[in-house]
Structures are given as structure tokens and as C-alpha cells.
Structure 1
């Protein structure tokens, strides 16, 4: 086998493993769990879902309203009625600071985290603020993306497996999809920020003009200071993109050199 083909398969395998353990596996294990909890069917949540959630949520931010002894334990959080987010890695973090949210009570401001399959953090508090300024609740955005996310990742994983298993030119271009994941996320994230900032309602007690929320960095909206930065999941996407690009060009090189012989 051509050395570059071997390299391509190794790079693609690394990309697949990162994708699987960062997103696909926890999304599969936790799929439908939040719906069961919201519908009062917590007794139907499997032990696998609980174990995976507990594992992936170690060290993650939990709402300040969550009792300390319940954090990182899904069963206890359900009992406490605490805010529960997805198991998959968070991709982007947004926090908000305001005079009426003192550092003593909210040391990290009002942080929320964006996942492929939902949100975590102070989601309830952020929705309260959104309502205050006439903005839709967070769940109103990205509903299609959240619904198809797990299936899209499974399809993508299958594509990478085909790339690894078969040395066909047509399968090589599959790797351009995982290579583009960071850009796809930022584009979708930016679109929804624009939508939220330009679809304000009259119900807001505090009137503000349509605006574009900060995509990256620090911003200011009325009396609120915002911070918007990538978090661990986005860095995993960058790694997936990096190894996918390496896999693509390694196989392209192999095809070219084999054709020249």
C-alpha cells in the first residue's frame, strides 16, 4: 500500500475518534433523555445515559441554583429539578454581566454553552433576560439543527469509515465535510445570533434597537456586557478539521503518484 494512503487512513481514523468521543457517542447515549425528564418520565432514563452524562459533565459549569452535592450526578440533579444540559462537549460559551447580577451571586456572570444538541449553563436565567429585552428564548433557535444533529454526525462518521475502507477518489471528497465543521458551526451560530438580534418583540420591558450580538470577543448591549468565546468542543472541531485536511491531501498525493507510475 502506498505510504500516503496509510497516512491518510491514520489521519482519518484520528478525526473519526475525536468526532466519536467528543460528540457522536455522548449524543447517542443521551438522545431523548431531556425529553423524558421534561415529560416526567425520569424513571425511564437508562443507566447508560446517566453514566455517560456523569462522565462527560465532570468539571463543567452548573447553574448556581444547583446544590453542590447534586452537581455531576444526573440522578440527583433530576431529583432537585436542576437545569440539565446535553452530555456532548460544549462548542461555544457566551456569558453576560449586568449590575443586577452581582459577582458574589454569579461569579462567572450568566454563562450559557452551545452544543450540537442543545444548551447548558444558566439557560433559564438567560431566557429571562432575553424576554426582558423582547428576544426569543434560546430554544427557539437551531431547532432543526438540534433535531438532525445526531443523524448528521452518524452519516458523517459513515462517510469517514468509507474513506478509510475504500481507496476511491469519490470518497476522498467526503473528508472536506469534517474539514469544514468549524466554519459550518460559526456560520450557523452567526446566522442565529443575527436572527435573534433582529427579531425583537414588543413584549420586552426594556426597548432596544435591532442589533448584531457579538460572535467572537467582548461586546456591550445596553447595560449588559457580553463575552463570546469558543470552548473545548470547538477546539475538538478544529482538530477534526486539521486531521481531515491532512487525510484529504495525503490520499490526493497517493492517487497522483500512483497515476504517474
Structure 2
């Protein structure tokens, strides 16, 4: 094994670890938020009204009450249908009525709570970022794969093929299959859940469409810039690792920005009037009788693993560039 084979292999392994962590993070809950209040007793809601933030949306974080809790003992948690027979407290005492029971839909519950102070539904946040996140992940994945390559020509081939596939996928998905139009339609419907202002909400939908067009076109342009940069500037390849390595920073900035938006764009039709505020990004806070908790979840640990692996790989590659060991 020659002198450069070991660092080349190490860079490839680190890039592979980062890529695996990033793919897993896309499907993982990155951050969680919970509200607790006296009207949500801990025995019934052990985690409060909890939601999980993913890259592609916000999901329910509540679960059915655990076995042995007061709620599990006293309440049938399963949603009953017309096919379920009436409960007999004597004959049915030993039956597993809660088999298949799911927790409260806490996204809906939190939306209901928030709208009393004039806050719009959670689904209206990041309307451009969420549906396009998968394409940015494909963009980052291509950069990481190209970074692991030591030969310039092969690196450019990887970038060209990966970016072409990502661009084609994005155009077909958003325009040919009509997913962008469907998303905007759903966004407009969701935005008008509590506050019915058709003209204003339609304008928001038009903005989402316009910004989505700009972001899609911009991403394709950036792909071209990256290919040109790698082709012309030797040290440009370091950006292939640095840009995706900062994914945990991008998430926190976007998350905090949208929290600010929600807290500073309260609708005057809310049942209660509160001053614009900044919801808790990290830690514990309090709004009225509600205590709020906001912390990173296990998906964020994957992003930190991504960061650590890519930064270490970047340092190794930087040393190789100084020594002239890679193209």
C-alpha cells in the first residue's frame, strides 16, 4: 500500500459515514417541542403535547398512555368505530381494548392551542424548504461522493452524473408530476384552517410558488457553479465537504427563523391578544399557563456525526492538497 492509499481510504470511509448519517437523518426526528399545562395531566400526557420536527415536515410525538398508568386503566384509548360493541365493565374487563391504540394527534392539538393567540398552523412553516429538502439532500450526497474521489476527471463525472440526475428528478417531481401545485394547494388549505382570508392566503400561496421556482432554478445554477469551480480551482473541492458538513447549522437557523415568523406574525383574530414573541428555540420557556420545552432529538446527533466525519475528512484532504497528493 503506497503512502497515499491510507489517507485516501480514510477520507472515503469518513465520507461514507457522513453520507449514511445524512440519509438516516432525513427520515429521523431532528428536534422535539413539547407543551405542558395543568389541563394536560402528566399521567395522561407523560410527554405533554409533543411534536417532532423532521426535514420534510412536522409529525406527532405523542403516544398512547403506558400500561399501568391511570389513563390506561380508566380510559379506552382506541378510536372506536361502529363495528365496536358497547363496552361491558364486567364481561369485558380482561379484554385488550387498547390494542392498536395511538396517541393523541398532538400536531392538531398544538395547532388548536396556538390559534387562540393568533398563530397560524404549523404546516404553514417552511413551505418551500420541506418539499425541496430531498433534492438538497441529493445535492449534498453527490458532493460527498465526489469529495471521496481523488482523481479530478472522475470527480467531475460523479458531479455531472449526480447533479443531472438530481435536476431531472426535481423537475419531473415538481412540475411533470404536479407535486409543486399540489403542495401549494394543500398549503393554502392549511393556512386557512382557522383564519379565513382567501385573498391574503392566496397571495401567500403565489409567493410559495414563485419562491419555489427561484429555488429550483437557483439550485440548478449552483450545480453548474460547483462543477465549474471544481474544474478550474484545485482547492474548490474542499467545499464539497464543507457545505454539507454545515447541515446542522442550516437546520437550526431555519428552525429559529420560522419560530420567529410564527411568533411575530400573530393574527389579530386570535381569541387572546399577546405581544409578538420569540418561541423557545432551545431549552425551557413559558407562555401563559403553558411551559414549553424545545430540544434536539436523536436525529440531530446524526447531523453532528455528519459534521464531525466531514470536517475530519476535510482536514485530511487539505493536507493532501498541500502535499500535492491529490488532483
TM-score normalised to structure 2 length: 0.58
Equivalent residue of 2:128, what SS? helix
1:203 aligns with 2:269: yes
1:213 aligns with 2:279: yes
* Whole-Å separation in 1 of the counterparts to 2:272 and 2:53: 25
Could you tell me how far 1:167 is from its partner in structure 2?
A: 4.2
Could you tell me how far 1:132 is from its partner in structure 2?
A: 1.2
1:111 aligns with 2:114: no
* Whole-Å separation in 2 of the counterparts to 1:138 and 1:167: 46
Could you tell me how far 1:22 is from its partner in structure 2?
A: 3.3
Q: Alignment length, in residue pairs?
A: 196
Equivalent residue of 1:18, what SS? helix
Match of 1:4 among 7, 10, 16: 7
Equivalent residue of 2:32, what SS? strand
Q: Is the 8 A contact 2:25 2:300 kept in 1?
A: no
Q: Which of the pair has more CA radius of gyration?
A: 2
Match of 2:110 among 126, 137, 144: 126
Q: Tell me what 1:253 maps to.
A: 319
Unaligned runs of 5+ in 1: 24-87
Unaligned runs of 5+ in 2: 61-105, 153-233
RMSD of aligned residue pairs (Cα, Å): 1.6
Could you tell me how far 1:4 is from its partner in structure 2?
A: 2.5
1:98 aligns with 2:37: yes
Q: Tell me what 2:299 maps to.
A: 233
**Residues 167 and 220 of structure 1: is their aligned pair in 2 closer, same or farther, counting only changes over 3 Å?**
farther
Q: Can you list the C-alpha shifts for 1:30-73, whole angstroms capped at 9, x where unaligned?
A: xxxxxxxxxxxxxxxxxxxxxxxxxxxxxxxxxxxxxxxxxxxx
* Whole-Å separation in 1 of the counterparts to 2:275 and 2:38: 21
Q: Can you list the C-alpha shifts for 1:127-183, whole angstroms capped at 9, x where unaligned?
A: 101111110100110111101100110111111111112444432211111211111
Q: Tell me what 2:134 maps to.
A: 150
After TM superposition, the structure 1 stretch with the greater mean CA deviation from structure 2, 226-235 or 155-164, is 155-164
After TM superposition, list the pairs within 5 Å mapping 1:57-206 onto structure 2: 88-121=27-60, 122-168=106-152, 169=234, 170-206=236-272
